[in-house]
Structure 1
Amino acid sequence: MSMDRQIVIHQPARLEIGAGAAAKVGEWAEGAQRVLVLTVPVLADKVEMLGLPGRVEVFTEVPPEPDDRALAAALAVAAELKPDVVVGLGGGSVMDVAKLVSVLWDGAQQLPDVIGPDKVAQRLSRLALVPTTAGTGSEAGIRALVTNAETQAKMAVESGHMRADLAVLDPVLTYSVPPEVTAATGVDAMAHCVEAFTNIRTHDMIDGYARMGIGLVGRYLARAVADGTDTEARAGMMLASYYGGICLGPVNTAAGHALAYPLGTRLHLPHGLANAIIFPHVLAFNQPERPGKTAEVLDALGLPEGAGSQHVAAVARDYCERLGVEMRLSAHGAGESDLRGWAEEAHGIRRLMDNNPREMSVDDVEAIYRAAL
């Protein structure tokens, strides 16, 4: 039992769930005079669904893997507008940038000042987070990640001041997500749950959220991939993603996400796809240390039981491939000469690697990349 370990769970002050819930953002923001919406070009036409009051400025220049330069551009727009309300409408990258904008736009603190836990001084604007994919669960927590444009290293900021005042899980907003993106982000949501579930910092309460999230993925991900307008399946996946976001707070991820980060910064793969490619390999690597929990994961996904890491890797990879995820790194531009450098980089992400239940060397990381090639 791990209930004796102290943890803190941060969740949004208000959570709206259900088809059509996006319209609640405008009701919640009533009285705001200046609203900044952070999003991406393909989602700009969905801003109207929020019913926002006052002067609404829409910033769409948030890249899939935002770096400090992209954040600076968003902060410049916010500094001029001085928003009462900041809205993040999009995936995890958009929501992470929105969190940072809501606490940094006045310039009193710069990004380097707040990297790490509990360094943010204050919230400057009310914050609403509206996910349009079911993957990162960023709306559930208080952490934001951006990339250092020079070093390509991920920089993490964590603060209770970045807790959403409102989060909205509206499955209608995910109808237009393509099947391959639905699949990859859904596996990412599951990876958050699984990595917390098998973590050395595991906690009984977080295990509960993780089990619910994994179960929802097993029940609904294939349906959401097959029919993007299956409202029940889309809602189930949004809830799975949210549960995964809760798992990230007090427990966090482990080696899986550490190995995925170089694929995002070096190959420019979307975060969900990078994690989906790595997921079966790390699940299998950790199986000897977490045989019971690994068996639970396979059962929740409807995968056949079997002994040993090779079986786990094979059936988990087959699961992802059947969902339509291209699992070969070589198909995404990776070459064998890349692998050692990426392995050294991933191995150095100690804030995640140190959570892994089984010690992983640089050679082990390289072997996983080679198996995924």
Structure 2
Amino acid sequence: MKEITLLQPAKIVFGTGCTEQFCKDYTAMGLKRLFILTAPVIRPMIAEMTATLNAAGVATEIYDEIRQEPSVNDFKKILEAARRFGADSVLGVGGGSVLDVCKLVATLVDSEQQIEDLFGIGFINKRGKWFACMPTTSGTGSEVSPNAILLDERDALKKGVVSPHLMADAAYIDPKLTWTVPAKITAETGMDALTHCIEAYTNKFAHPVIDVYALEGIRLIAHNLLRAVKDGKDVEAREALSLGSMYGGLCLGPVNTAAVHALSYPIGGEFHISHGLSNAILLPSVMRFNCSANVKKYAQVAVACGVEPCATDEETAMKGVEFITQLSKDCGIPTTLTEIGIPQTAVERMAKAAMNVQRLLKNNPREVTEEDAKAIYSSLY
């Protein structure tokens, strides 16, 4: 069996209501200046937590102006705010973009490295300040991954920073924080998490250690996403999605994603479409493209989704693609690029841009050429 390294936070706390544990753990460490990254809608949800920290003598500063898809320039402004505050620790409470920025701020607040030099794998030269991640969506799994994504305005392309130094010191995954997430965001982030698991399981570099997380993540998300979209306070469904999202995040470090994510980056970079929505639209088409390269595993994906096995793996795999397509529709997600306002004239430049994301395309079970990328995009009109 080939070697694999599974990175994860030093501490993972999972469970409804576990945000209370964060205050106890944090104050016990003796840290005193906590820079908190979040979003305006989430700020009231952490008011009690910050009050508890302040009463214990912890100085906090809350930055809640993170855009849905933060750019390099956005990040630089946030980093400067953390430096002015004199942060000795950082907490991210929010969706994937908030958590990604948290990881990068903690890493670079005392560093002379420049963010533009860190895109790619393994370029961060040292660990930064202590930081924790607290997700409020069930999507990116960023709280347990060594990855962070920013929009690089120079190339109108979202780019990734990957390093073991971006692994959180602690992750507090409280499904209660997801109860008020709107149905649309629940659907899109849930499809992002499902994509993580499917791409990890069918990946060229898939591994039995990670397959366990990926398959269980597929099962949990496929069986509970629509329930949570229909009823945001379905506690059982929310807990299942939070767990499935975490499993997807654990897949990202050792195996990572593939063509769906690579093709989604130009959509988000140029047209500012949310990452989850881009992935959801692309996923069925990329699955069809890839199926012949790993039909047995795609059949297993289908079964994990709840599809009854057919006479052949090919038939089962295609039923799985149909299931994913229907799940997206049932959750209210568009199925074409036309529906989200992307003109067909953009296909050629999106395909060209996607070819720059080789760190992910190299993982795909089937080689993707620029012509293939054009064909996949074109099939979505």
Does the aligned pair in 1 maintain the 2:219–2:306 contact within 8 Å?
no
Q: 2:282 aligns with which of 253, 275, 278?
A: 278
Aligned to 2:336: 328
Give the Cα–Cα distance (whole angstroms) in 2 for the partners of residues 280 and 323 of structure 1. Answer: 15
| Matches for 1:240-319 after TM superposition, within 5 Å | 240-303=244-307, 307=314, 313-319=321-327
Do the aligned partners of 1:25 and 1:52 also contact (CA within 8 Å) in 2?
Answer: no
Q: Could you tell me how far 1:311 is from its partner in structure 2?
A: 5.5
Q: Structure 1: which amino acid aligns with 2:129?
A: S
Tell me what 1:133 maps to: 137
Matches within 5 A, 1:98-117: 98-117=102-121
C-alpha displacement of 1:313: 4.2
1:86 alignment partner, SS class:
strand
What is the distance in 1 between the residues matched to 2:323 and 2:177?
31
User: SS where residue 266 of structure 1 aligns?
Assistant: helix
Which of 137, 143, 146 does residue 147 from structure 2 map onto?
143
Counterpart residue identity of residue 347, structure 1: M
The 1:176/1:68 distance shift into structure 2, 3 A limit, reads same
* Corresponding position: 1:9 with 2:6: yes
Paired position in structure 2 for 1:34 = 33
Q: Distance in 1 between matches of 2:112 and 2:356?
A: 31
Q: Does 1:345 find its partner at 2:353?
A: yes
Q: Write the mapping of 1:71-220 to structure 2, written as runs, cut at 5 A.
A: 71-220=75-224
What secondary structure is seen at the aligned counterpart in 2 of 1:260?
A: helix
Between the aligned partners of 2:122 and 2:372, the Cα distance in structure 1 is: 33
**Which residue matches 1:357?**
365
Deviating 4+ runs (over 6 angstroms): none
Counterpart code for 1:75: L
Given that 2:148 and 2:162 are in contact with CA atoms closer than 8 Å, whether structure 1 keeps it comes out as yes
For 2:308 and 2:265, locate their aligned partners in 1 and report how far apart those are by CA, in whole Å: 30
CA displacement, residues 45-99 of structure 1 (integer Å, 9 cap, x when unaligned)? 1222434341111111211111110110110101111112200111111111100
**Aligned partners of 1:197 and 1:207 also within 8 Å:** yes
Task: Tell me which moved more, 198-207 or 160-169.
Answer: 160-169
1:214-255 CA-to-partner distances (Å, cap 9, x unmatched) read 111122212111211111111111111111111111111110
Partner of 1:324: helix, strand, or coil?
coil
Contact in 1 for aligned 2:200/2:214 (Cα 8 Å): yes
Q: How many residue pairs end up in the alignment?
A: 370
> Conserved in 1, the CA contact under 8 Å of 2:301 and 2:320?
no
The percentage of aligned residue pairs carrying the same residue is: 39
Residue 52 of structure 1 pairs with residue 53 of structure 2: yes
Shift of 1:203: 0.7
- Residue 21 of structure 1, CA deviation: 0.7
CA distance in 2, matches of 1:208, 1:36: 35
2: CA distance, partners of 1:213 / 1:124: 30
The unaligned stretches of length 5 or more in structure 2 are: none
Structure 1 residues not aligned, in runs of 5+: none
Q: Does the 8 A contact of 1:22 with 1:49 survive in 2?
A: no
**TM-score by structure 1 length?**
0.94
Partners in 1 of 2:47 and 2:60 — Cα distance?
A: 10
Give the Cα–Cα distance (whole angstroms) in 2 for the partners of residues 121 and 14 of structure 1.
23
Deviates more, 1:116-125 or 1:273-282: 116-125
2:159 aligns to what SS in structure 1?
strand
Q: CA deviation digits over 1:157-189, x for unaligned, max 9?
A: 222222211101111100111112111111110
**In 2, Cα distance between equivalents of 1:361 and 1:115:** 23
The one-letter amino acid paired with 1:317 is: T
One-letter amino acid of the counterpart of residue 22, structure 1: T
Return the alpha-carbon distance in structure 1 between the equivalents of residues 352 and 366 of structure 2: 17
Contact 2:96–2:135 (8 Å) recurs in 1? yes
Asked if 1:43 corresponds to 2:52, the answer is no
Kept in 2, the 8 Å contact 1:25–1:128? The answer is: no
More deviation in 277-286 or 43-52?
Answer: 43-52
TM-score of the two chains, using structure 2 as the length reference: 0.92
Tell which deviates more after alignment, 101-110 or 204-213. 101-110
**How far apart are 1:322 and its partner, in Å?**
1.1
